[in-house]
Structure 1
Amino acid sequence: MTFQVTVQPSGHQFDCEADETVLAAAIRAGIGLPYGCKNGACGSCKGKVVQGAVSHRAHQQRALSEDEKAQGFSLFCCATTAADLVIEAREVGGSSEYPVRKMPSRVLAMEKVAPDVIVLTLQLPANEALAYRAGQYIEFMLRDGKRRSYSMANAPSLDAPLTLHIRYMAGGMFTEHVFNTMKERDILRFEGPHGSFFLREESDKPIVLLASGTGFAPIKALVEHMIHLQSTRPVSLYWGGRRPLDLYMNSLCEQWAATLPNLRYIPVVSHALPDDQWTGRTGFVHAAVLQDLPDLSGHQVYACGAPVVVESAQRDFVERCGLPPEEFFADAFTSEADLHN
């Protein structure tokens, strides 16, 4: 059975099948609802059900609380319906600009840039290219039907093989394979591009880029894209890790800061050891932004990394620094534990 979904305030409409999530139906119809993980873990796709009712598949409590459900909020990535719906959601222009494709790729290179981080380089078939926006991600399709998501770490303007930053997770089905058994020339299948995390080019506001761990990957792509655009917007790049070795491309960021007049780079380490001889900023990375930029009312923020970092940043930047909620853009990296596997 097919039901009609109407989006307010745009008035856009699309069809949704009975066994289909609202987000999947919107993507299929080219309607740009915001989203991130598509697994009920990050909360990026949260909106309000104005008319009708939805049922939710498994999701994280932190992404949608019982109180929010009672107020009519929904996670559209795991919401299905058995009737016509009217929903309220902020639409994102450009998120469906490029077609989602299933493609094979060959492992071109694997470079261990930290004890627990590999930069994976993928070669696409000859005469094929993946059209995407800097900041978006792909999903690897695994043999058991499960998927794993990773952001492209290079801007499409570079016209280079895709690079991804893979952090090792003990017991993780995909990362155990990457770190222990994967070889160059192996074939991987993926689908993409996905996600609504990308630069809003129509704005001229100063930008805060906030990354934790391998959340640096899409942030790196955004910086490269701004270099390509010859953007003159002021950029403050904050990258946080537990120890200095977690900032596995620190020298690249220092190079950007030295050569790009509009970019500041602030590395932050939360759990440095005496042997690290760390003399830079310490503590949590989003707290460093609070210290440096107490007024964010005229900024845009792009945050990527662990959900707890993204959630803390969104809450504190809006409540304490006056950041307009619609100017906070995020991609919360979810682990395999977050995905109910």
Structure 2
Amino acid sequence: MGYQVRIQGSDHAFEVNEGESVIDAALRNGLMLPYSCRGGTCGTCRGQVVEGEIAYPDGLPPALEADEADAGDALFCQARPQSDLLIAVREVREAGDIIPRKLPARVTGIEDLAPDVRRLWLRLPAGTRLPFLAGQYLDILLRGGRRRSFSLANAPHDDERLELHVRHLPGGAFSGHVFDGMREGALLRFEGPLGNFYLRDDSDRPMIMVAGGTGFAPVKGIIEHALHIGVERPIHLYRGARAREDLYLDELPQQWAAENDHIRYVPVLSEPKPGGDWDGATGFVHEQVLAEHPDLTDFDVYMSGPPPMINAAKRDFARAGLDPSRLFYDSFESAPE
């Protein structure tokens, strides 16, 4: 048996399964409510129960006093509905609604994805989770005040570990360590989430997503989030790479397209090997977009990748009628060493 939770002052409502917390159910339904520790100790998820009854599986959470509970206050990361609810709580709708934090994280997995790309899996301390919007990024904090930015490649509903895709840059202070010396169990510090590259769910326009290199990371998170919340707008994914081996995790977008009629996937190689077995699109990825969509007037466009790709696409997409307010991008600038 489940219950319906309505958010006061909003048209949003969602179903909570028996024994499920309000926060877990909201995330499962694609709604972001404030949270942090997911253990009832920080109070970030505090709101009010306007109508209905709740219970806590292990008694009153540490961050909630008995008189506050009597007055209707609740910690929704622990609260389990005992009836349909009307709650008062602030929804997270924009990047500015989430306060970045500095946190430690332990490397729990290292995986080679391409000759020059590795995937890192990071786990936060016990009882800590990171609220973020799909497509945002982290700054890894290095000695001497240096920072290196990496997009989150997982979606918010799948936040038990954080996924980063790291490209090996010649002389890179952090990427060099990732490829030459980092081991599982290493401890990092980061600040995040950061950035304004995330899915705008207030639009009904078809979407074109353009990813170059490791710009696939935030696009991966956005598409996985869109699939999770049931977005059915057309998604045209164009992915640019130099050669076939640079199309890491290529089976994943192929699977998205095979299993979802509203997703189309077009990989584009700029430097396919002569005499190879590539018979797909070639050239610059943004030019492939324009060849198939010469009029971008009615689209939302999301782009992530190297600055030359972003800059060329911004110029040419504007000429094709793209409304600048419907262009969202994350330019992967390389930090100087």
TM-score (norm 1): 0.71
Alignment of 1:196-211 (within 5 A): 196-211=196-211
1:244 touches 1:276 (CA, 8 Å); kept in 2?
Answer: no
1:306 touches 1:332 (CA, 8 Å); kept in 2?
Answer: yes
2:141 touches 2:147 (CA, 8 Å); kept in 1?
Answer: yes
Alpha-carbon distance, 1:112 to partner: 0.5
Secondary structure of the residue that 2:106 maps to in structure 1?
Answer: strand
Alpha-carbon distance, 1:277 to partner: 1.4
TM-score (norm 2): 0.72
Alpha-carbon distance, 1:312 to partner: 0.7
> Aligned equivalents of 1:275 and 1:261: distance in 2?
33
Alpha-carbon distance, 1:158 to partner: 1.7
Q: Percent identity?
A: 47
> Aligned equivalents of 1:289 and 1:280: distance in 2?
14
> 1:219-251 CA distances to partner (integer Å, 9 max, x unpaired)?
000000101110010000000000011110111
Number of the residue aligned with 2:326? 327
1:306 aligns with 2:283: no
> Aligned equivalents of 1:126 and 1:295: distance in 2?
50
Q: Which runs of 4+ in 1 moved over 4 A?
A: none
93-102 or 219-228: bigger deviation: 93-102
Number of the residue aligned with 2:216? 216
Number of the residue aligned with 2:281? 281
Alpha-carbon distance, 1:196 to partner: 0.5
Number of the residue aligned with 2:161? 161
Alignment of 1:42-57 (within 5 A): none
Alignment of 1:175-190 (within 5 A): 175-190=175-190
Equivalent position amino acid for 2:326 in 1? E
Secondary structure of the residue that 2:205 maps to in structure 1?
Answer: coil
2:129 touches 2:160 (CA, 8 Å); kept in 1?
Answer: no
How many residue pairs match? The answer is 245
Number of the residue aligned with 1:14? none
> Aligned equivalents of 2:240 and 2:287: distance in 1?
10
Alignment of 1:27-46 (within 5 A): none
Alpha-carbon distance, 1:275 to partner: 5.1
2:130 touches 2:159 (CA, 8 Å); kept in 1?
Answer: no
Change (3 A) 1:159 1:173: closer
The CA RMSD measured in Å over matched residues stands at: 0.9
> Aligned equivalents of 1:95 and 1:151: distance in 2?
14
Alignment of 1:118-267 (within 5 A): 118-267=118-267
Equivalent position amino acid for 2:301 in 1? V
Alpha-carbon distance, 1:287 to partner: 0.4
> Aligned equivalents of 2:115 and 2:186: distance in 1?
22
Secondary structure of the residue that 1:225 maps to in structure 2?
Answer: helix
- Flag the structure with larger Rg: 2
Equivalent position amino acid for 1:94 in 2? E
Secondary structure of the residue that 1:156 maps to in structure 2?
Answer: coil
Alpha-carbon distance, 1:267 to partner: 0.3
> Aligned equivalents of 2:274 and 2:141: distance in 1?
42
> Aligned equivalents of 2:288 and 2:298: distance in 1?
18
2:302 touches 2:327 (CA, 8 Å); kept in 1?
Answer: yes
Number of the residue aligned with 1:294? 294
Alpha-carbon distance, 1:269 to partner: 0.3
Alpha-carbon distance, 1:98 to partner: 1.2
Change (3 A) 1:130 1:294: same
> Aligned equivalents of 2:190 and 2:326: distance in 1?
30
Alpha-carbon distance, 1:336 to partner: 2.3
Equivalent position amino acid for 1:285 in 2? V
1:134 touches 1:156 (CA, 8 Å); kept in 2?
Answer: yes
Secondary structure of the residue that 1:153 maps to in structure 2?
Answer: coil
Secondary structure of the residue that 1:222 maps to in structure 2?
Answer: helix
Contiguous gaps of at least 5 residues in structure 1: 1-92
> 1:179-223 CA distances to partner (integer Å, 9 max, x unpaired)?
001110000000000000001110010000000000000000000
Change (3 A) 1:275 1:189: farther
Secondary structure of the residue that 1:276 maps to in structure 2?
Answer: coil
1:107 aligns with 2:103: no
